[in-house]
């Protein structure tokens, strides 16, 4: 069984690869081929349900897919997203986080920085491990206007760094950094004691995560520029997973082409 202690031990010693998963078939295959950490992401709103954002995803959706993934990979470290407006106050966060934990999640992922520090703290002291998600936060798409790099401006960089420190001090066990410049991701990874998982944030983070459909190259026009199709140059999905792990561990992926300066 992979635990958060393993990830903490790997920090600054061994890069690790993460994939999203939404069903038992893929989670079983991913684990067998070496993916020990998976995320049931609210990205399922776009990849599975066909919506144009993650906003419509409900806690029932997340509970269902978390159960499916857990059945396929009973020994993986499983993260699961709390969807849009399911943690707008502490009490709601307790209820919905417990639903996902009972469904099989080991860690609950929330989007936000200082604004959710109190929720992170209160979940943590109630034995619910938290992974925070900052930088580009898809649940905020209606405020952001479009999916774009965060932290290029000095003020934005300072805010993201401040959020990262606040998140760690509140008790979060992991941090996901999405779509921030390489140097900012490197700075945050070096400063924090908790593992940092990057997506579109360069190769200096402790781990990397890709959405399964992007990894397979089947997202079509929705494929983000920071992604890479590992199935394209491999004969089957198993070989693609092995290739992905090797490239992450050897800092080949993401390259500068799949990162932001």
- Positions annotated as catalytic residues are 178
Helix (H) or strand (E) holding 197: strand 196-199
- What CA–CA distance (Å, rounded) separates 237 from 241? 6
Distance CA 2, CA 40 (A): 16
Judged by DSSP in three states, 37 sits in: strand
Alpha helices in the chain (DSSP H): 4-10, 24-32, 44-47, 59-72, 90-103, 117-124, 141-144, 154-169, 182-191, 212-216, 237-249
Whether 176 and 209 have beta carbons less than 8 Å apart is answered as yes
Q: Which residues pair with 38 in a beta bridge?
A: 19, 78
Residues ≥6 apart with Cβ < 8 Å to 27: 21, 38, 68, 69, 70, 71, 72, 73, 76
Q: What angle do CA 151, 153, 158 make, to 5 degrees?
A: 65
- Report DSSP state, residue 101: H
DSSP count for the chain of H helices, then E strands: 11, 8
């Amino acid at each position: 069984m992979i635990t958060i202690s393993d990830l903490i031990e790997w920090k600054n010693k061994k890069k690790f690869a993460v994939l999203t998963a939404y069903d038992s078939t893929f989670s079983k295959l991913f684990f067998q081929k070496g993916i020990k950490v998976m995320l049931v992401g609210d990205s399922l709103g776009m990849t599975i349900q066909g919506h144009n954002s993650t906003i419509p995803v409900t806690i029932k959706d997340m509970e269902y897919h978390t159960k499916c993934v857990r059945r396929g990979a009973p020994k993986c470290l499983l993260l699961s997203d709390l969807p849009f407006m399911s943690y707008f106050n502490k009490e709601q966060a307790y209820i919905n986080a417990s639903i996902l934990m009972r469904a099989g999640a080991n860690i609950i992922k929330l989007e936000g920085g200082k604004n959710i520090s109190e929720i992170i703290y209160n979940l943590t002291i109630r034995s619910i491990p938290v992974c925070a998600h900052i930088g580009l936060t898809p649940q905020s798409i209606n405020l952001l206007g479009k999916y774009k790099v965060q932290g290029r401006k000095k003020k934005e960089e300072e805010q993201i760094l401040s959020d990262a420190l606040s998140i760690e001090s509140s008790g979060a066990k992991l941090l996901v950094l999405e779509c921030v410049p390489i140097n900012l991701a490197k700075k945050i990874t070096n400063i924090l004691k908790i593992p940092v998982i990057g997506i579109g944030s360069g190769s200096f983070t402790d781990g990397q995560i890709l959405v399964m459909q992007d990894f397979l190259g089947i997202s079509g026009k929705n494929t983000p520029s920071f992604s890479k199709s590992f199935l394209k140059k491999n004969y089957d999905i198993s070989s693609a997973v092995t290739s992905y792990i090797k490239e992450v561990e050897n800092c080949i992926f993401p390259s500068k082409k799949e990162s932001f300066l």
